[in-house]
Structure formats: C-alpha cells, structure tokens
A = this chain, B = another copy of it.
C-alpha cells in the first residue's frame, strides 16, 4: 500500500488535536537558498527527493502567514491581494489544507505576505509552506517537533522542509516509502560571518515553475543520470568545508553544484534555461572579482536571479564589485 500525504498527516497529528485551539494563528518562516541543490523527486506525491540537500536560511527574508477558520471556501490573500479561487496557487494551498479540515464545509482564511519577490527563484513557496505549517501547528495546538513540522512542510513544497529551521540546514533524502526519514534538521554548524545576498535581476514570474522544470529534467534530460552521484560527492565535500569554515571550498562547491543543476536542465527536452543575458553578466562579474582577489561565489536556483556568497569582512568589496545591480541582504 503506497502511503498518501493524508496518511502522513494522520500519522503525525495527535488524534485529539483536530479542532482549532484558538481563533487565529500567525507564523513566520525564512526563505532558504540551497548550497547543494534539491533537483528531482523520487516520489511526486510526497515530494520525496532523489538526493539530500543543504541550505542556508535567510533570516528575516521569508513569509508571514496568518490563518483563521471560516465557513465555506478558502480565501487566500497574497501580499495584500485576494487571489482568484481558480488560481493555481489557491488550488495548491487548498489541496494542502484538505488534510487538516476539522469538518466538511470548513474553510481557512490564509493571509500570506512574502518579504522576498514571489516566484522568481527566491523559494517563496518554501518559506510560504513552512510558515503555513507553523501557523497550522499554532491554530490546532499540535505542538509538533521540528522533524514532524519539516515532514509536513515537505508535503506542500519539497524545499519547505528546510525552511522550518534557521541557519545551515540539511534535508536528508531518506529511503522509506512513506518519507518518514525524509526531513530537514539543523546541520549543527554555526558560521556567523557567512553571508548570502540576492542580486535581483528580475521580479517577473518565471516562464516555467520549478516543479515542472524539475519533472521535465528527470524525465527527459540524458545528463540527469549523472546528477545523483554529483550531489553525493558535493554533499560530502560541502559538509566537510562547512565544518572547517573553509570558505573557498564552500563557495567552490556551491557554485559548481548550482551550475551542474542548471546543466541538467539545459539538456532537457525542450531545454530549460532560467538565465537571462544579465544573469551571465553577473556570473562573469563574480568570476572577474575572484580573479582580482575578492572571495565571492554564486549560486542560482530555478530563476534568473543570482545569489552571492561571501564573508562579512569582504562585504564592501563585494558590494562595490556588484554595484550595477540591486543587492538585497537578509539581516541574518
């Protein structure tokens, strides 16, 4: 019997906590940027990944979600705008909320606000679903631990499993069919001087969502066959680099892992290219800065924007080198 998301909810939520314990609840969760990417699912329904991944959470950049119960259909407001019932976002959220309705006819009022650009490769669905799970936990008084919250967040969006935590976070791929061993947890490494900044090139919605791009890559890219072994190697080296606070190695592995992920997409049919001409210009500029002795590396997700990784004491040089673009720094 293949487990469903509903089975996972039933297994994790105490049976006596199916009714709200308060009128409303609010929660925040940070966005996260992977240093070793999640790219490809082994189970589409449970969002179980092919590989483990590792990310850094973005402090106060993320999503605020406020929840109340209501009679009737769900009402979802995003960044101050009520969304149409038939929008794909509302349908995705409502399907997720189906797992926790106390009774038929029971709806939710969901008020979400992202402090980062939505759907342009800044993982707003990750922080959004993580905040939603935390708000549900408060509304229903589940008092679940981080591991259970991470599993539930994963059912909404794979990388949301990582947005349950601050700092450096590892999401274990796991191998169980029900995904109970596929959750994130803090890596246990503190690195106060590590900085990540967002170079914003476009706030436009992307042409193809990461969910569809990931699926197309797994199904059609002949290079995807080599991706799991690539991540296996990069994860081992990244963890060792982080434990040693070795910035050069951390940056180099993050950059090569991101490029390899984009490479697998490029070979999909039809190809997936999230880069804009300006993305290439930023990458080239980062390489030029490194050649000049400024230790800065980049990573990129399923969108045109570039994220840069550097250490606190080089921030003036990094900012100056990238002064042509909008530089968004999370206050981590």
Contact = CB atoms under 8 A, between A and B. Distances in A.
A105 interface: no
Contacts of A226: 222-226
Contacts of A279: 280
A260 B256 contact: no
A281 interface: yes
Interface residues of A, number: 31
A307 interface: no
Nearest to A252: B269
- Between A256, A264, A279, the greatest number of chain B beta carbons within 10 A of the residue's beta carbon is seen for A256
Contacts of A266: 259-260, 262-263, 266
**What is the count of identical protomers in the complex?**
2
- Between A233, A266, A269, A278, the greatest number of chain B beta carbons within 10 A of the residue's beta carbon is seen for A266
A277 interface: yes
Nearest to A228: B222
A273 interface: yes
A283 B278 contact: no
Contacts of A255: 271
Contacts of A223: 223, 226-227, 230, 260, 263-264
A207 to B, nearest CB: 10
Nearest to A282: B277
A204 to B, nearest CB: 13
- Between A226, A278, A279, A283, the greatest number of chain B beta carbons within 10 A of the residue's beta carbon is seen for A226
A229 interface: yes
A267 interface: yes
- Between A229, A252, A262, A269, the greatest number of chain B beta carbons within 10 A of the residue's beta carbon is seen for A269
Contacts of A9: none
A275 interface: yes
A79 interface: no
A294 B260 CA distance: 31
A146 to B, nearest CB: 32
Interface of A: 222-227, 229-230, 233, 252, 255-256, 259-260, 262-264, 266-267, 269, 271, 273, 275-281, 283-284
